[in-house]
Amino acid sequence: MQTHHAVTFSKELRRKIVSQDVVALSIPPTTLDDVECPKCKLTENIVKDGKRYNKKGLIQKYLCRVCNYRFVINVGFENSKNNSKIICAAIDLYFKGVSLRKVADHIKQFYNVLSHNTSVLRWIQRFGQEVSPFVDSLPLPHLSGIHHIDEMVVHVRKEKIDKGNYQWLWNLMDNTTRFWISSKISQRREIIDARKVFQDAKSKTPQPKAVIHNGLWTYNEAFQKEYYTKKNPRVKNIRSISVRNEGLNSVVEKLNNHVRDREKTMRGMNTSKSAQKMVDAMRIHYNFCKEHSKFKKTPSEQAGIKMDIQNNRIETLFRLSSLKKGK
């Protein structure tokens, strides 16, 4: 009876999703009027000053005629020693299941660039750190308002809890768009840990219409702390049984399986801190770079975010994040 009620409620909410305007984002074309001198901060009297070639590729040089300072522009990759295309290709290969060492070997064979596997790891962690604040601030107009949450065990080599080297990964996902809203690493499955996931979701999205979980007692307690109110509209707290028994939480359980497949290549998960960086990077790649098999578009596009990305989504995210941070 409870399962029938939950299914009916879920279908009704899907019918009530209201279509809103799409959020459009693009990188403005760089012209001489947009170029600012890093030294004197002026945009006037900037001229092109030839090009130079290094391992980043062919780089345009600029000259400020006010202070005679010469400089180059590489938005999003200002301090990188390697070409942005190589960095982005390495990140994409990793999240497609290639190990760190094999990614480094691929770069050596096809780009003739020597990179250690630890360099690839730093690129991935940097991707998560720099892009997270930007993407987490974007409005999501097409979310269904039905949140699915579930937890899973992940192996973290240098974090020994009780009898094993593991941590808990909490994933929260939107129902109809498959947008992965929150990913949090914790040592245990306590109320405070579940509350942190709900708090993170609340900071990124409007109040949901329903939260669906597997019935773990911590979810009920955390839900009461974060969402319970006597005023309408109230958030529905729905307990769903296992997917094997036709439960409603298959959406996030499929996400867990995706994470499990990628975990095989996650050699950078030494500590809970590094694990969080890797999972954040994976969440961004999943939402903005990987087309969902059902929609033939990324979850971010399904959620109403439209970016002028074209081919290299990772590079675009790096550059947009840098532009947003510089404002």
Using alpha carbons, select from 286, 312, 296, 20 the residue that is nearest to residue 179: 286
**Are both 60 and 151 inside the same structural domain?**
no
Q: What is the pLDDT of residue 8?
A: 57
* Average pLDDT of the residues in 141-156: 92
**Are both 288 and 192 inside the same structural domain?**
yes
Distances (CA, A) of 326 to 38, 70, 134, 320, 321: 12, 20, 11, 10, 9
Using alpha carbons, select from 83, 169, 183 the residue that is nearest to residue 123: 83
pLDDT surpassing 70 at residue 17: no
**Are both 167 and 302 inside the same structural domain?**
yes
User: Domain for residue 94, yes or no?
Assistant: no
User: Domain for residue 318, yes or no?
Assistant: no
pLDDT tens digits for range 245-292: 456 788 899 999 988 888 776 665 778 888 899 999 999 999 999 898
**Are both 240 and 264 inside the same structural domain?**
yes
DSSP 74: -
What confidence category does residue 307 fall into, taking pLDDT thresholds of 50, 70 and 90?
A: confident
Using alpha carbons, select from 276, 294, 146 the residue that is nearest to residue 209: 146
Looking at the structure of the chain, the number of domains it has is: 2
Would you list the DSSP string of 226-271?
HT--SSSSPPEEEE---GGGT-STHHHHHHHHHHHHHHTT-TT-SS
User: Domain for residue 131, yes or no?
Assistant: no
Cα(325)–Cα(137) distance, integer angstroms? 12
**Mean pLDDT lowest among 33-47, 152-166, 312-326:** 152-166
pLDDT surpassing 60 at residue 244: no
Beta strand spans in 65-179 (E): 69-72, 146-155, 166-174
**Are both 286 and 175 inside the same structural domain?**
yes
Beta bridge partners of 57: 54
**Are both 164 and 290 inside the same structural domain?**
yes
**Are both 164 and 267 inside the same structural domain?**
yes
* Average pLDDT of the residues in 28-49: 72
Q: What is the pLDDT of residue 196?
A: 97
pLDDT tens digits for range 105-142: 999 998 888 888 889 999 999 999 999 999 999 999 99
User: Domain for residue 130, yes or no?
Assistant: no
Q: Report the CATH number that the domain containing residue 225 is assigned in CATH.
A: 3.30.420.10
Q: Report the CATH number that the domain containing residue 49 is assigned in CATH.
A: 2.20.25
Helix, strand, coil percentages, rounded to 5, for the chain: 40, 20, 40
User: Domain for residue 122, yes or no?
Assistant: no
Q: What is the pLDDT of residue 57?
A: 59
**Mean pLDDT lowest among 35-44, 242-251, 260-269, 314-323:** 242-251
What confidence category does residue 176 fall into, taking pLDDT thresholds of 50, 70 and 90?
A: very high
**Are both 10 and 51 inside the same structural domain?**
no
User: Domain for residue 181, yes or no?
Assistant: yes
User: Domain for residue 83, yes or no?
Assistant: no
**Are both 180 and 49 inside the same structural domain?**
no
**Are both 294 and 179 inside the same structural domain?**
yes
**Are both 55 and 160 inside the same structural domain?**
no
Query: How many residues are present in the chain?
Result: 327
pLDDT tens digits for range 185-243: 998 899 999 999 999 999 999 999 999 999 899 999 999 999 998 889 999 999 886 54
What confidence category does residue 14 fall into, taking pLDDT thresholds of 50, 70 and 90?
A: very low
Domain hosting residue 236, numbered range? 2-24+139-307
**Are both 256 and 145 inside the same structural domain?**
yes
- Coil, helix or strand for 211? strand
User: Domain for residue 151, yes or no?
Assistant: yes
pTM: predicted TM-score of the whole model, two decimal places = 0.80
Q: What percent of the chain has pLDDT over 90?
A: 43
Q: What is the pLDDT of residue 137?
A: 92
